[in-house]
Structures are given as C-alpha cells and as structure tokens.
C-alpha cells in the first residue's frame, strides 16, 4: 500500500507539501497541488483518515442530523448535502434524531467526539442551544439555538401559493397548517393567512378556515375529511392549501374517497415539491423548496470561518401542475 512518502517521491516534493495538499492548505500553489494529486491518483493513494484526525484534530466528514429520514423532503435534502460535500472531498455522516431533543443532543455530542469538520442540523421542535463548539454548526430548515440558519423563505412561499389560488378565482379556501410548535409551520401559516387577509376586500371577500396537524399524509387525510365530508357543495371550500406535500397528498386521497374530482370540484396545493408530488394523480401544484441551493449554502458555510456565517433565506417557486384550476 503506497504511503505519503511514496507520493512525495513520485511528485518530487516534500512530505510536508503532500500533507498541506491533503489538508486543502491554500498556501500550496495550484500547479504544485495538481502535481501531487496526479501522483496520488497514479499510485492509488488513500489517506489514513484516523492518522490525519490525530494530526489535525478533524476528519473529512460533515455531520448531518435530520428529524425523520422517512420524510421524503429530508431524504432529498440529505442526498443533496452528500453531493455537495463530495465535491469538496468530504463524506457525510447522517443521523436521525426521530424528532427527539434528547436523541439529538446525544448525536451532536457523538459527532463532536469524532472530530467532524462541522455539523448541519435540521433541529427538532425542542432543539436547544449548545455551548459554543470548536467546529461550525449550521441550522438547516429549522432554527437551532443561536446558530446560523439556512432556510427557504417559508413566509414568502406561502404568500405565493395564496396569490396563485386567488388568481384562479378561489374565494372559499381552507388552509392546513403544520404543528405550530415549529417555527417553520408558524411562518408558512402566517404568510398564507396574512396574504389572504390582504387580498380579501368588502367587495370581493374571501372565506378562510385554518386547521392544524402534523406534516404527514394521515393528518392531511383526516383534516381533509373534517373540512369536506359534512359540508354541502355550496359551503365547502373550493380550494385547500396544505403546509406540506404529504398533507396535500392526504387531502387528494380523502377527496378521491369522497368522490370529489380534483381539480374540478376541489383544488389542492402543497408545499415542498417532494418527488412524489409529480407522481400522484393528479400531479400536485406546490411550492418548490430550493433543495439544491439549501444544501449548497449549508455546506459552503461549514467551510467559512464561524464569524462569517450568517442567516440566509432562499426563495422558493410555485410549480403549477394538474391539482389546481379555477373553481
């Protein structure tokens, strides 16, 4: 197995230069860096991560903690974080907190003990601040303590969905919020409600009802049934906007059971644009979260100095599909 000395000999440089290349030290000039990398490739040299961790107090691994890997949005987010880390020759260690604050705290400690380069965390609803760590910690999607937050502009995204339904002519609308213990759910609810209130006028009033449930399929189906089952055709909403695609897909399932045609009898809109949103029938109109941009921004901030890290809100876009139409 080739050693770092073999690489240095092959490239005609010192062992120290090879070490600086492995550590991505910017003092190594680019042509020299390419020469060392070519030697490593030719020799099929694999750096000893354990030894490097002892020398540098860190390894080429980023920790990622998510609340629920069975949630398609978080699975897509994790995949994109892995892709961005790989571009920087880093791997990702993914942990599932199961939306439990105690588990989350244990996972953070375990990642810090393993000397990871940094930690990206989608916090639980009860996520608490952590004493300042020696590595960057970035909040992703949900705020974690006082750490920098990278997130979709949830408020703006919900306003865009409200504008879309209003432009189609809907004036009886129901909104299914996520659990309001979460800042994300609060932002989405507030954005939608405030926009509908602004659009409603005495001459052109909008009837809006607001409901709350978990960000999952079952909540969407159950609340959809509550909203639709006991209302006459002249009283039920002509549109339901949900705070997540999973909720919206649950509403689609409920509408089918109740023999309601979507979008002829009922328009349905979601939020997230998970992969399943484009596969259900009818395909779901939704607010697309910029997952690639979120992952890129989070990974980039891991490589920034901690003082340079700051909050970043990224706008989403409405994806128009077959689940919404004029009433």
Q: Give the C-alpha separation, 310 to 308, whole Å.
A: 6
pLDDT at 209 over 60: yes
Q: What is the CATH number of domain 61-147?
A: 3.40.50.2300
Please provide the DSSP assignment of 94-149 as one string.
Answer: EEE-TT-HHHHHHHHHHHHHTT-SEEEE---TT----PPPSS-EEEESS--TTS-E
Of the two residues 314 and 181, the one the predictor is more confident about is 314
Q: 0.85 cut: is pTM over it?
A: no
Res 305: pLDDT: 55
Phi, psi dihedral angles at 142 (to 5 degrees) = -125, 140
pLDDT tens, residue by residue, 272-294:
999 999 999 999 999 999 999 99
Give the up-direction half-sphere exposure of residue 207: CA atoms within 13 A in the CB hemisphere: 7
CB 227 within 8 A of CB 209: yes
CB 236 within 8 A of CB 227: yes
* Alpha helices by DSSP H, the chain: 4-11, 15-22, 30-43, 49-56, 72-87, 101-113, 154-168, 183-199, 217-228, 245-257, 291-302
What is the 8-class DSSP label of residue 307? G
Res 44: pLDDT: 85
Q: Is the dihedral of CA 148, 150, 153, 154 positive or negative?
A: negative
Contacts of 111 (CB under 8 A, 6+ apart): 63, 65, 93, 95, 119
CB count in 10 Å sphere of residue 127: 23
- What are the structural domain ranges in the chain? 4-47, 61-147, 154-290
Residue range 111-135: mean pLDDT, rounded: 78
Residue range 145-169: mean pLDDT, rounded: 96
Residue range 140-153: mean pLDDT, rounded: 92
In percent, the amount of the chain with pLDDT more than 70 equals 91
pLDDT tens, residue by residue, 212-221:
999 999 999 9
Residue range 228-234: mean pLDDT, rounded: 83
CA 121-69-290 angle, 5° bins? 65
Residue range 16-20: mean pLDDT, rounded: 79
Domains 4-47 and 154-290 belong to one CATH topology: no
Q: What tokens were used for 191?
A: 């954005």
Res 150: pLDDT: 96
- 281 burial (CB, 10 Å; 0-12 / 13-18 / 19+) is exposed
Q: What tokens were used for 45?
A: 């040299």
pLDDT at 52 over 60: no
pLDDT at 54 over 60: no
**Between the ranges 46-50, 83-87, 115-119, 196-200, where is the mean pLDDT highest?**
196-200
pLDDT tens, residue by residue, 259-271:
999 999 999 999 9
Residue range 134-154: mean pLDDT, rounded: 91
pLDDT tens, residue by residue, 80-113:
999 999 998 899 999 999 988 889 989 998 888 8
Strand order in the sheet with 91-96: 91-96, 61-66, 118-121, 137-140, 149-152, 312-314
Which CATH number among 3.40.50.920, 3.40.50.150, 1.10.260.40, 3.40.190.10 corresponds to the domain 4-47? Answer: 1.10.260.40
* Mean pLDDT value across the chain: 90
Q: Give the C-alpha separation, 70 to 182, whole Å.
A: 19
Which CATH number among 3.40.50.2300, 3.40.50.300, 3.50.50.60, 1.20.120.340 corresponds to the domain 154-290? Answer: 3.40.50.2300
pLDDT at 15 over 70: yes
pLDDT at 151 over 50: yes
Strand order in the sheet with 239-242: 207-212, 172-177, 239-242, 267-272, 285-288, 317-319
201 pLDDT tier (thresholds 50, 70, 90)? very high
Res 115: pLDDT: 78
Q: Give the C-alpha separation, 92 to 79, whole Å.
A: 10
């Amino acid at each position: 197995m080739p050693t770092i000395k073999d690489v240095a000999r092959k490239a005609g440089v010192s062992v120290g230069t090879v070490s600086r290349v492995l550590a991505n030290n910017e003092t190594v000039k680019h042509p020299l860096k390419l020469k060392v990398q070519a030697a490593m490739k030719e020799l099929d040299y694999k750096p000893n991560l354990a030894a490097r961790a002892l020398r540098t107090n860190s390894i080429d691994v980023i920790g990622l903690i998510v609340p629920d890997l069975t949630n398609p949005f978080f699975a897509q987010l994790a995949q994109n974080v892995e892709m961005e880390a790989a571009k920087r020759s880093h791997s990702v260690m993914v942990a599932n907190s199961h939306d439990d604050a105690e588990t989350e705290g244990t996972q953070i400690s375990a990642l810090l003990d393993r000397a990871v380069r940094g930690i990206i965390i989608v916090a639980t609803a009860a996520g608490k601040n952590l004493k300042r760590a020696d590595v960057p910690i970035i909040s992703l999607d949900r705020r974690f303590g006082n750490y920098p937050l990278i997130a979709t502009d949830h408020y703006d995204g919900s306003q865009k969905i409200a504008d879309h339904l209003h432009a189609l002519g809907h004036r009886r609308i129901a909104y299914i919020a996520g659990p309001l213990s979460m800042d994300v759910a609060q932002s989405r609810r507030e954005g939608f409600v405030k926009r509908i209130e602004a659009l409603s006028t005495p001459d052109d009033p909008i009837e809006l009802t607001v409901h709350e449930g978990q960000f999952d399929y079952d909540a969407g189906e159950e609340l959809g049934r509550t909203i639709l089952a006991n209302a006459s055709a002249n009283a039920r909403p002509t549109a339901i906007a949900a705070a997540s695609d999973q909720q919206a897909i649950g509403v689609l399932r409920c509408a089918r059971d109740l023999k309601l045609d979507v979008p002829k009898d009922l328009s349905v809109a979601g939020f997230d644009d998970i992969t399943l949103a484009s596969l259900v029938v009818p395909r779901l109109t939704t607010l697309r979260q910029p997952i690639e941009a979120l992952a890129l921004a989070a990974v980039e901030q891991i490589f920034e100095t901690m003082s340079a890290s700051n909050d970043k809100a990224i706008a989403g876009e409405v994806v128009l599909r077959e689940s919404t139409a004029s009433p």
